[in-house]
Chain A
Amino acid sequence: MKISQLKVEHIGCYSGSSFQFSDLTVIYGENRAGKSTLIYALYYALYGKHLNTTLSVPDLCQKGEKIGAATLHFSHEQTNCQLWRSTLGTVALSILSEDGTQWKSLVQDTSESLKPFVPIPADIASLTSFFREGELIYFLKDIPRYNKTLLQQLLEMDDIFILQSRLKKTTGIAKEKRKDIQVDQSSLKLPSLNPATAQKETEELKTEIGRIDAEIKNLMAASGGAADPRLLNMLQRTIDEKKTEIASIEKARAELPEQDILVRKKEEIEKSISESTVVYSNPDELQRQLGSYDQQIQALKSDIQRLSDMEKQPSCHACGQALSPDHFTRLISERRTRCAEIENNRKRVASELLTVQSTLQDQKASKIAMGTIQRQLAEIQHWNGKVKKLNDQLSEAAGEYEKAKGTADDMEIETGSRHILELQSQHAELQKRLIGLNIEIQHVEQRKTDLEKYKEKIREADHLVLLCEIACQAMDRAVAALNQNLMEKVRESLQEWAGHFQYLDRFDIEMTPKELSPIIQAKGFTYKLNQMSKSERIFLYLMLKLAIGDAMGHLGVFILDDPADGLDFKRQQVLAHLLQEVSGRRQVIVSTNDDRFADIFPTSSRINL
């Protein structure tokens, strides 16, 4: 690529300007004249990005303007191109027709479509075709840092190393998962049961059970088909239960009086109650009469006492009139007679009250006795009913038993039953064993299925581990290949450029394949980077950029923003000479604010801002 012209509109300090470039162009201007802006505009026109990664595209616009644009004229593989890009992201590429008369529009979309004309990616171009003084900050310090080699640092390989580490950890996770599955599988032990043997045993058991069934049927048929021991046992048990129940009821009934006695007593009580038809006085009324008599007697006695006291006095206390003793004697006699009458009446009423109370007490006792008798009679009737029912059931069971027993005598039944019972017991045992065996067989089958599933899981886990390992190995190899390929090319290129960088002649600079760090030797001594002078490191850095550019690709243009800053005039002369050398192989665009440095270059190649 060769850049011939750059037009900028509303970019930085430029409202609308055009700049022409030759094989070696020096952009000279004081501070804030717009030198760096031009470099940024060149990078922006090519890639639509800001060269300074700490700034964004809108930062390129002129103050007060929302949109800026840059148009770059360049030739690539004998094709003249015009690349226009606005800060809004619009891009347009046109190529000049072969006769040189008209521009033909090619792409108007993405940077992907620009690849054939701008073949180097933006990040590589930033490293190999552009130089900013800010880049030197870390390079001038003690590097490599954080165990990174110089090349790794220049290539910004941190992301690769992080990803490499993550892939290794992913492999660790995959292995851990596989181990977990293996542990789970090992805890899943197969039972010691041999399925073939178990199956054989099952068949044998089935045959034996069939044989016992047949024998039981034969025995039952031989005993007339009547003496089924299980039925007889069941009936006997029923009879026994009924008898026990009846006995317990009889015992409970024996504790009650005889039914006849109770009936007789009941009749007597009923008779006595019906006979007592006399109407008795109300005991409460009699009680009130007694109280009334007591009050009257008390009043009369008190009156008699008062009259007796007055009888002994000659005159009245109140009026002083003389009193007649005969009159008092008569009055006292009348009151005593009256008192005697009332006392007689009281005795009569008291006697009557006693009779009434006694009668009422008797009636109450009779009613209680009547209730008890009625309850006992009901209980007896209930027991009688139940006993009758049980007796019926007993008779029925006994009949059934006799029927089941048939014609066989007890002895025959007992012998046959015992044999059948033994066979039935044996049958039950075999059935139990058969069921157990079937469960075990099912268990074994289930375990087998589980084991197969685990095997499948382990196969899959192995496969995942393999995929992870492949990714890790591929990563390692890619890193090694990247280093190796680049290293070879960088080493070759370094040797070539060393011829031009005569300033560094006294150093023997080479890149070691292992460390990727330059080994610098001078007069037999090994130097570290930070043991070199600043100017030596600047030259080394530029040389590395050129060498890496040869290895990774470059634009064919080497654009430097103020590389002479910090160099004394002698070193500036060396740098200028070097850049002239480089311009023989690549187009060089260099900016400076140092007029002495700018004056070293031919004036024809100069842009004064």
Chain B
Amino acid sequence: MSIQFKKETFRNDYTFRNSQWAIDRFPFPFHEDSYMYSVNMEQHQGGPKGSVFEKRFDVDEHYLSEMEDRAIVLAEDPLRCQSLPHMTLAGWDLLELIMVSKSEDYPDLFELHREGNNWRWVNKPMNIDDQFVFMDETTLPYGPMEYITRQTQGDFAVLDQRDDNLWMDAGMVTTQADWSLDFDIGMNFFEWHAPVPKAHEMGIFVRALKFLLNIQQGSPARRLNWTMTVNPLLDTSPENYHKWGVEKSTLAKENVGEKQHLRVELQTFFRLPRSNALVFPIRCYLIKLEELVTVPKWGRRFHRVIRDLPEELATYKGFINNRPMIVEYLSAFDDGQPTSDGIWPD
């Protein structure tokens, strides 16, 4: 099917909604009735037809509105996009990866024409038709990473690999779950994960780093992560916490199904060929509780997960105060029936 792009907002009047198509393909992240950290990695080599796992870079109905929201964030705060000088080559790698992937995966929406280093990129949904010289920054309106990530949903952390570690040396981060590129830039893998509770003691990060360092060209990987967000806000950044943090206190019995969202990140990992850097796209999918509970299995399971989540995790994910209200709302959709294994609806 061709995608019907929606005009909607992720701020002020919050007109964001999922269509039935988007609900049906939502990446529900819980494969069982409880949740604990794990290095839940798998190969990113396609997935069920129509699912968000199918393409290398998923494009959905929220594409144009998400790109508009990103442009607003960048206009207010240019430091959301940064690239240390040695990361320009990785930026070209990323531009190539996305242009090749999107033009192959969505030929009706994107075209890439290459003659040597003379490239022409056509992005039909965004009305872009640009000619430039590959590896020549002066021929693009932005640096290569910024240029392509202004046209691609999801945040991007571009990680340099050296000294058996990964370093947050470039990124485009405007749809983040309360972390800051400007704060983390230049940090290594253990430094930027320092605030996460429990996982260090469990040895999660040592194992995860070992896995990531060994991701090879042609063998990308993926995992899901999740948190909770009040109102469909893409930009839940520390920089703007004074704006969105207070919105958590607007949650009430009458509006919890409409305002409370499950926020799922599809995290993918690709080795970049010329720079040997690793790119870490973090794609955010939002769904209102009232949309989520339309799938009976998800309603039952989500109630049990949220109810039984360890306190540290509910605190870290920022919804400890609202948890009783959320659990009460969800309990109406849990009839106690058993749920089937795996994330897919029955």
> Are both chains from one complex?
no
Name B's A-contacting residues (CB within 8 A).
none
